[in-house]
Every structure is written in C-alpha cells, then in structure tokens.
C-alpha cells in the first residue's frame, strides 16, 4: 500500500533533523541499525554536469563517448515503469527559493508503479528525458541508483525494483549530510568511477567555488588556492561550472567511465 499524502507533511516537519540523525551513524550500534534500516545495499552515483566537458579543455573525448546525462537516458529507455514526481521532497521541506520545487525525482522500475498517484504521474520515456533535461537546464545535478530511503517514505518495494534519478540542488539536498555520516554509509553515495575533479594553476583563490556551490563542502581555500578533499568530493562538477578562470576541471582517469557507471548501477537495481 502506497504512503498516504500526509507523509509529505511529516517529512517537511522532520527534515531539519537529518544532520542530527546522520551524526548518530558514527556510533557503532546505532550506525549499524540505521544502515540496515535505511541504506542496506544502496548504490547511488552522482553525475557530473555535462558542461564540465566543454569547460575542461584538456578533455578531448571521442565522438562516441556520451556525456554523463547519457546515463540517465540509458536507464529511462530501459525501464518498464517510469514515474515523474510533482515535487522534490528535499526542496519542498526546506522551502527552497533558488531552484524549482516542482522539478521532482524520476523513479524507474516495477516498484514505481505502486507510488501514490497524488505524488505525480506515470510517464513515457520521452516525457521523462525532457523532464531530466529541464532539471539540468535549471542548474540541478543528477544522481542515480538504488536508494532505499525512497522505498521507505513512498512505502513501495522491493528496493531492488526501484531506481531513483534525483535532481539535486546544493542548498537543500539530503546528501549534505554525507560528511557527518559513518564512512560505511557515506561511501554508498559516490562519484562516477574513473573521474576526478582537480584544481590547476589558473586558480587565484577567489573563493567563488566555495560559496554555496559544493553540497558536501569538499572544496575550500588554503594558502590562496582552492583545494579539493577527494574523500568527500562526489564529482558533481558544480565547482568547475562556476569557476571564472576554468581553474577546476574534471579529469578522466578511465575513458570507459560512463560504461562502468552503467554497469555499476545495473548490478544493484532491476528496472525491467
């Protein structure tokens, strides 16, 4: 039975406590229980902004190499059931003023067919691809994968039959909590395999990349230069997109990073 519409109001009220609960995961027993209840078998990947390819002049991918948003389109076209949410529960809870609240998640897979109709609607692949494109154009960054929390608040399942495509803003995203979580949980939400954000000699330490840009605060100024904490960076590419001197760029360590991401995500969710 799908969650009643009232769950939206409940989440709105408790959302601000997410940092408190995230901090509790660092206590062994409590962390184990929270991991089992909310994150078991999760595997979520953040996708870099497509524009990072244009910004980074050192990358010259072959024509056959798709941009990161191609991962989203791949899974949308493969899904048996596609559902578009009418709202983002994170931005709705925070009362976001900077990004559209109505640009909600896309859910894929058989479990999505059980979502309460009051939350959104079933869609065609073309409608979902257009929705995802509209979200990127609004400045939102997408993450994709198996996210157990969505099966819980929506009261659907099984978890292995639901894939989440979330459209995240830096100010309201649930995963601002990652630096506070136990590493065993935080590593379940990762950057694409085979890429890394790096700072080059163009950096003047202006600080634009640190001003409300990184949702996990993985970039800071040290001795007049931007420094990226690679243990926290999820490779979203926002820092590269805002840098006026192209001093931050995405470095491709493995040319097959898009194909590898698709393989990694496919192992955790069946969306047919």
> Are 32 and 24 a contacting pair, CB within 8 Å?
no
Q: Are strands 195-199 and 141-146 parallel, antiparallel or unpaired?
A: unpaired
Mean pLDDT of 86-90: 97
* Residue 141 backbone dihedrals phi, psi, to 5 degrees: -110, 135
C-alpha separations of 64 from 53, 224, 258 in Å: 14, 39, 11
Other residues' Cβ atoms within 10 Å of the Cβ of residue 69:
18
Dihedral of CA 100/91/134/56: which sign? positive
> What is the DSSP secondary structure assignment for residue 127, as one 8-state letter?
H
pLDDT at 82 over 70: yes
Candidates 140, 136, 164, 158; CA nearest to 79 is 164
pLDDT at 62 over 50: no
Mean pLDDT of 146-160: 96
- Residue 164 has which token pair? 């989440």
Which run of H or of E encompasses 21? helix 18-24
- Which pTM does this prediction carry? 0.92
pLDDT tens per residue, range 96-123: 999 999 999 999 999 999 999 999 999 9
User: What's the pLDDT band for 93 if we cut at 50, 70, 90?
Assistant: very high
Q: Percentage of the chain with pLDDT > 70?
A: 94
| HSE-up of residue 105 (Cα within 13 Å, Cβ side) | 25
CA 183 to chain centre: 17
pLDDT at 240 over 80: yes
Name which residue leads in pLDDT, 236 or 56.
Answer: 236
Residues shown for the chain: 272
pLDDT at 49 over 80: yes
User: What's the pLDDT band for 61 if we cut at 50, 70, 90?
Assistant: very low
The predicted pLDDT at position 4 comes to 86
> Are 195 and 234 a contacting pair, CB within 8 Å?
no
> Are 44 and 71 a contacting pair, CB within 8 Å?
no
Residues 6 or more apart in contact with residue 128 via CB below 8 angstroms: 76, 82, 84, 106
What angle (nearest 5°) sits at the alpha carbon of residue 234, between those of residues 107 and 96?
60
* Residue 227 backbone dihedrals phi, psi, to 5 degrees: -130, 135
Q: Which residue has the tokens 């408790």?
A: 14
User: What's the pLDDT band for 67 if we cut at 50, 70, 90?
Assistant: confident
pLDDT tens per residue, range 5-28: 899 999 999 999 999 999 999 999
pLDDT tens per residue, range 116-145: 999 999 999 999 999 999 999 999 999 999
The predicted pLDDT at position 55 comes to 53
* Range of weakest confidence among 55-59, 157-161, 177-181, 242-246: 55-59
Mean pLDDT of 43-49: 94
User: What's the pLDDT band for 52 if we cut at 50, 70, 90?
Assistant: confident
User: What's the pLDDT band for 53 if we cut at 50, 70, 90?
Assistant: low
The predicted pLDDT at position 63 comes to 43
**Torsion of the alpha carbons at 141, 146, 149 and 152, rounded to the nearest 10:** 130
pLDDT, averaged across the chain: 92
Q: Measure the CA–CA gap between 178 and 244, rounded to whole angstroms.
A: 28
């Amino acid at each position: 039975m799908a969650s009643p519409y009232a769950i939206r109001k409940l989440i709105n009220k408790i959302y601000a406590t997410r940092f408190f609960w995230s901090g509790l995961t660092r206590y062994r027993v409590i962390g184990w229980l929270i991991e089992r209840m909310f994150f078991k078998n999760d595997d979520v990947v953040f996708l870099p902004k497509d524009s990072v390819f244009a910004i980074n002049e050192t990358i010259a991918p072959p024509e056959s190499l798709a941009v990161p948003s191609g991962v989203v389109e791949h899974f949308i076209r493969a899904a048996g059931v596609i559902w578009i949410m009418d709202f983002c529960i994170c931005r709705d809870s925070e009362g976001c003023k900077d990004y559209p609240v109505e640009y909600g998640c896309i859910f894929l897979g058989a479990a999505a067919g059980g979502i309460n109709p009051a939350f959104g609607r079933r869609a065609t692949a073309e409608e979902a691809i257009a929705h995802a494109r509209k979200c990127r154009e609004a400045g939102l960054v997408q993450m994709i994968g198996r996210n157990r929390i969505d099966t819980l608040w929506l009261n659907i399942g099984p978890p292995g039959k639901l894939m989440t495509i979330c459209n995240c803003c830096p100010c309201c995203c649930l995963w601002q909590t990652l630096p506070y979580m136990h590493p065993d949980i935080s590593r379940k939400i990762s950057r694409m395999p085979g890429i890394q954000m790096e700072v080059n000699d163009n950096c003047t330490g202006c600080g634009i990349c640190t001003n409300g840009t990184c949702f996990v605060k993985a970039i800071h100024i040290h001795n007049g230069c931007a420094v990226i904490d690679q243990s926290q960076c999820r490779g979203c590419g926002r820092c590269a997109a805002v840098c006026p001197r192209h001093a931050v760029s995405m470095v491709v360590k493995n040319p097959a990073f898009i194909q590898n991401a698709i393989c990694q995500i496919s192992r955790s969710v069946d969306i047919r």
